[in-house]
Structure 1
């Protein structure tokens, strides 16, 4: 727990820097571009994130899972080398698939998204830059070495370059193109910083590139790869698709306002992702205490979520107007509802990580997929009912159903037994701490102890 909180401290410190600088470029972009043009800018950024989210494999999870403990036949260093080669090979697949997907999306944009034709070339270029800046693999290498301080320093490059670029755009190119270029420069800069930092921790051996070695050692490898990719696509791209569909059904102005409300209100979702990234390596390393760690983190997250929602409720209107201006004041209640959704996601982060660490990434995907698809289907009706607030309620419903699903899935996992102690406090998890020990050579459970 001490190491977990130390690592979380570094991650949250990085998030704090990001949050402060985010306010700088958000204020500059909204006040410079106005409601509708900011909607165009938000659409371009969201399209880049959709492409990256769908095409990108969550390679940091592979590195943590198969590189943290080594394997049955070799040393941990060899395991990290092989899983890194597997991850980089998957990154190459991501770029190739993503380029084709980008071309298809940008070609179809005039049919479903209110984006001017003169911005389509810029949109395609931004999607390509986002793909080239995929950085899940170096993040995994830093996390498997518990180098959270190094990772935080490298990731701080992104908000610094973004904020600096926003200032330059405001001064010299106060257009959608100027702010998109600032975002693109930040993506390239942070990817370069993370790869340099990772290479100093682990030797990057391009000779180890292979899509066969890891699957040959772990029979569940491709299932885990596909499941984590789909789950990541739902978590990242799903939310961006929802923002884009807000523009489809409500126009560029509604998209711009909802994007601001989402960024301010759902800052907790970023915090949830931070908690997840910090807790997963610990759950993999400490299977005996996995359930206890996840439970403690969920309790802490609940308290933090309640506090954050209260802050949004009492100070959100002032913050929205101070940052984005009077033009965005009508999105206050949407921001509050999205803050509640962020609090729900914060509580669910440790539960989702527990499922993934137990080799149940496919269960996590199904639990996340059904509410996400339901929210997308009902979005048009929700916007017709109550505009941005209706869209925010769709997000809240999706997050709530997903977290309830995570909890139910954990209760029903055969590997986890929840026993109430006679005093009514704490949890016992059986002889293996709740998650059955896994044979890394086969991917299956070890036989029971005598």
Structure 2
């Protein structure tokens, strides 16, 4: 637990820097572009994030799972796990480029984007795919190098804030701010790969999509389960933002994006906790359930505090950062509702990580998939009912049902304990056999 909280401290420190600087570039973008043009900017960013989330495999989980569980030749297995992860990253880039091309080509039919911004949109999607960085992140987390990871990830908000400042003075339009975002994506990916290469030797000759599946029969099932679960977690939120623009227009999209970024900061915190806790659950199998419970309790307290802060200070924060143009239309209450959803995600992060570490990635995906799909189906009606507030309620409902599902899925604690520690199952069988004659007598 001490190491876990230390690692979370490093991650939260990085998130703290990111949060402060994100307010800087968010304020610059909203006040420079205005409500509708910021909606165009938000649509491009959301589309890039959605494409990356859909195509990206959660390769950091593969490295933690198979790199940590090696036998006496653990270094060889880590090398092969890294090669498998990089090969999957390359596959993600290829698939993502095709997906991006299709989405951008069809964008005029469903997304409020001017035609002159479509080439920029496709270019940003491709850059986001090239900047996929889950593999170096996994290598750093496997070795508990959270300080190095935090230092590398801090490059992104600094570059983004600096680029937004340059755009404010020299290119005060959507293109200028997108260029700032694109530069930050490339910079942080480069920094993480450099940090990972200093920790572990990157052997490109180990690239293979066959070696790890040959050693682990459930490899591809785990790969696709974590990919789909990650896609729902990351891309699902971005798809909601995009569909808000589809059903409500660019202005509603821009306001909802601001409310989402402020209110859903807790979702990023939930992802931070899950990324820190998964390596601990894999390494400390016998204590996984205890760790997950403690983290859920800590998360509950933090979530309540954050929601209260959103209620008390959210309106002033929205006015200060985004300006008077973003006041009204329910954006404040949407932000509060999204903050509650973020608090629920914060509690559910450790529960979801417990399922994944127990080899239940498929279960975690199903628990996440059903509420997300229901939210997307109901989004149009929700926006028609109450605009941004209605859209926020769909996100809240999705998060609530997902967390309840995670809790129900781990109720069978005995079964999860045996899955986490197969030796426990073996140790129980001899005891039963030994007791059998006694019982008969």
TM-score range, shorter chain: over 0.9
What's the TM-score, normalizing by structure 2?
0.95
CA distance in 1, matches of 2:422, 2:101: 42
Give the one of 115, 133, 136 matched to 1:135: 133
What is the rounded CA distance, in whole Å, between the counterparts of 2:420 and 2:172 in structure 1?
A: 57
Deviation string 1:111-160 (CA, Å, 9 cap, x unpaired) is 10110000000000000000000000000000000000000000000000
Partner of 1:378: 378
CA contact (8 A) 1:70 1:76 kept: yes
Q: 2:84 aligns with which of 83, 86, 104?
A: 86
Deviation, structure 1 residue 412: 3.5
- 1:277 equivalenced with 2:260 (yes/no): no
Give the CA deviation at 1:413: 6.2
Any unmatched runs of 5+ in structure 1? 417-432, 440-444
Residue in structure 2 matching 1:166, options 164, 171, 195: 164
CA distance in 2, matches of 1:154, 1:335: 30
Shift, 1:407, TM fit: 0.3
- The answer to whether the Cα contact below 8 Å between 2:357 and 2:420 also exists between their aligned partners in 1 is no
1:40 equivalent to 2:19? Answer: no
Match of 2:116 in 1: 118
1:425 aligned residue: none
CA contact (8 A) 2:418 2:425 kept: no
- TM-score scaled to structure 1, two decimals? 0.93
Mapped pair 1:437 → 2:437: no
Partner of 1:147: 145
Specify which of 294, 306, 325 is matched with residue 327 of structure 1: 325
Structure 1 position 447 matched with structure 2 position 426: yes
* Distance in 1 between residues matched to 2:355 and 2:77, nearest whole Å: 23
Query: How far apart are residue 434 of structure 1 and its match?
Result: 5.9
Query: What is the deviation of 1:55?
Result: 0.6
User: Shift in Å at residue 69 of structure 1?
Assistant: 2.5
Partner of 2:56: 56
Q: May I ask how many residue pairs the two structures share in their alignment?
A: 427
Unaligned runs of 5+ residues in structure 2 are 431-441
CA distance in 2, matches of 1:126, 1:447: 52
Distance in 2 (CA, whole Å) between partners of 1:372 and 1:329 is: 28
Q: Secondary structure at the match of 1:283?
A: helix
1:287 counterpart (262, 270, 285) = 285
The alignment partner of 2:415 has SS state of coil
Residues 29-428 of structure 1: pairs in structure 2 closer than 5 A: 29-71=29-71, 74-330=72-328, 331-412=331-412, 415-416=415-416
Using the alignment, how far apart are the partners of 2:320 and 2:75 within structure 1?
Answer: 51
State whether residues 225 and 365 of structure 2, in contact with CA within 8 Å, keep that contact through their aligned partners in structure 1: yes
How far off is 1:79 after superposition? 1.5
Q: In proportion to residue count, which structure has more helix?
A: 2
Distance 1:447 1:381 in 2: 53
CA contact (8 A) 2:25 2:161 kept: yes
Q: Deviations over 1:410-436 (max 9, x none)?
A: 1146623xxxxxxxxxxxxxxxx5644
The CA deviation at 1:295 is 0.3
Per-residue CA deviations over 1:4-33 (Å, capped at 9, x if unaligned) read 000000000000000000000000000000
Q: CA distance change for structure 1 residues 206 and 438 in 2, over 3 Å: closer, same or farther?
A: farther
**Aligned partner of residue 203 in structure 1, secondary structure:** coil
Q: Which string of whole-angstrom CA distances, capped at 9 and with x for unpartnered residues, describes residues 253-283 of structure 1? A: 0000000000000100000000000000000
SS in 2 for 1:115: coil
Deviation for aligned residue 1:437: 2.0
1:26 match = 26
